[in-house]
Structure 1
Amino acid sequence: MDIFADTDAFRIAGLPLHPLLVHAAVVLTPLTAVAVALAALWPVARRRLGYAPPIAALLVAGLVPLTVLAGEALADTVGRTPSVVTHEALGLMLIPWTIALLVAAVAVQAADRMLPRLRRTKPAAARAVGVAVAAAAVVAAGGTIVVTVLTGDAGARSVWGG
């Protein structure tokens, strides 16, 4: 039995799992992106947040593909209208952005651990690495937020737009 081909695997008490997962993804994904960007840009936030951004990014990187799979199962049930196809395409685009966010979150955490030593021996290299990691984190966070909003908007339009 292929769990990914079985639409019943993405149901709870007969109801589709996608709407429940969507609400979790719509809340956690932008919050995680903001936390990663803050940790990358603001040392005080990085110290206070600790390992929360990479852990949340790992959670989101798993949650989004699961939500996409549940959405595909729901689309098989309700039909693939043009608005559903648009929503699905945007949802698929979100997967690589959440992976990039995870990589950026881990890079921010690693840089926080490694850069103090590098600053003592090669300050220019440390500055370049710090700027590159921060820029990558901000781009990943921004892209993740934009695609999350576009995906959510397309999903809402497919459900409520008539």
Structure 2
Amino acid sequence: MDYEFAGLPLHVLLVHAVVIGTPVLALLLVVLAAWPAARRVLWIPALVAAIGLVPLALTTIEAGKWLESRVFPSPLVQEHTSMGETIVPWVWALLVVAVAIGAWALVERVARRRAVGAASEDESDASQPESPERRPASGRGAAIAAGVVLTVAAVVVGAGATWTIVQIGESGSRAVWEGTFSDEPLGE
């Protein structure tokens, strides 16, 4: 496959989406794991973003391999190339966390609907979902435990993915720019 777009190597275009998308998705997953109201609204966009990030990262890696065979070999390029694939387990882990958050959002939705249905059977106001204070203690404990586990998972995976992207990006920047510019303006 030819990894070019408008005469530019596709890698240098795609890499920006991965470099921005990974930490933004990581932050969103932490917010969704820790904040139930946000989770109810944004779990689907987060899941779609996580699903899209996997093939985007894999395509960026393949475009990088294509580009590597078309630039002069150097230790910096080799270092960057060897580091590039280290993002793969992290984007898969982000997807797993997004799926877990989505699954928990669905569990919470079902629980809310059951609570509203039970309340209407008891001739309670069915328009008001059960408040956390009225939920049985075991249900509150499970919800808190799930929130804590999801938040810790999101923080750990998000931090790991972001740190890996920073390291890969820094090595790529060095491979492209180190020794190629002057400290003083040229031509003056």
Cα distance change, pair 115–77 in 1 and its aligned pair in 2 (3 A): same
Aligned residue pairs total 155
Say whether the 8 Å CA contact 1:17–1:70 is kept in structure 2. yes
Q: Aligned ranges for residues 51-90 of structure 1 at < 5 Å? A: 51-90=44-83
Partner of 1:96: 89
Q: TM-score, normalised by structure 1?
A: 0.84
Match of residue 33 from structure 1: 26
Given that 1:40 and 1:138 are in contact with CA atoms closer than 8 Å, whether structure 2 keeps it comes out as no
SS at match of 2:70: helix
RMSD of aligned residue pairs (Cα, Å): 2.2
Match for residue 158 of structure 1 among 158, 167, 175 = 175
Greater shift, 144-153 or 132-141, is seen at 132-141
Matched residue type, 1:41: A
Asked whether the 8 Å contact 2:43–2:101 carries over to 1, the reply is no
Q: Find the aligned partners of 2:40 and 2:172 in 1 and give their Cα distance.
A: 36
Between 132-141 and 40-49, the greater mean CA deviation after superposition: 40-49
Contact residue 32 and residue 56 of structure 1 kept, 8 A: yes
Distance 2:100 2:32 in 1: 11
- Tell me whether 88-97 or 63-72 shows the greater mean CA deviation: 88-97
Q: CA deviation digits over 1:102-142, x for unaligned, max 9?
A: 1101101111222574x869534444333222221221111
Indicate the SS of the match to 1:78: coil
- What amino acid sits opposite 1:150 in the alignment? Q
Question: Any conservation in 2 of the 1:115–1:130 contact (CA below 8 Å)?
Answer: no
User: Following TM superposition, by how much is the alpha carbon of 1:80 offset from its aligned partner in structure 2, in angstroms?
Assistant: 3.5
Alpha carbons of 1:83 and 1:39: their partners in 2 closer, same or farther (altered >3 Å)?
same
Q: Percent identity?
A: 40
Q: Select between 81-90 and 101-110 the one with higher mean Cα deviation.
A: 81-90
Deviations 1:58-97 (A, max 9, x none): 1111111100000011001103321112212221000110
Counterpart-to-counterpart distance in 1, 2:35 and 2:79: 36
Instruction: Read off the aligned partner of 1:140 and give its amino acid letter.
Output: V
The residue that corresponds to 2:40 in the other structure is 47
Instruction: Choose 1 or 2 for highest CA Rg.
Output: 2
8 Å contact kept, 2:32–2:38? yes
Instruction: Could you tell me which runs of 5 or more consecutive residues in structure 1 were left unpaired when the two chains were aligned.
Output: 4-8
Q: What code does the residue aligned with 2:49 have?
A: A
Cα pair 1:108 1:137 within 8 Å, conserved = no
The code of the aligned residue for 1:155 comes to: G
Which residue number corresponds to residue 128 of structure 1?
145
Distance 1:132 1:80 in 2: 45
The separation in 1 between residues aligned to 2:172 and 2:34, in whole angstroms, is 32
Unaligned runs of 5+ in 2: 112-134, 180-188
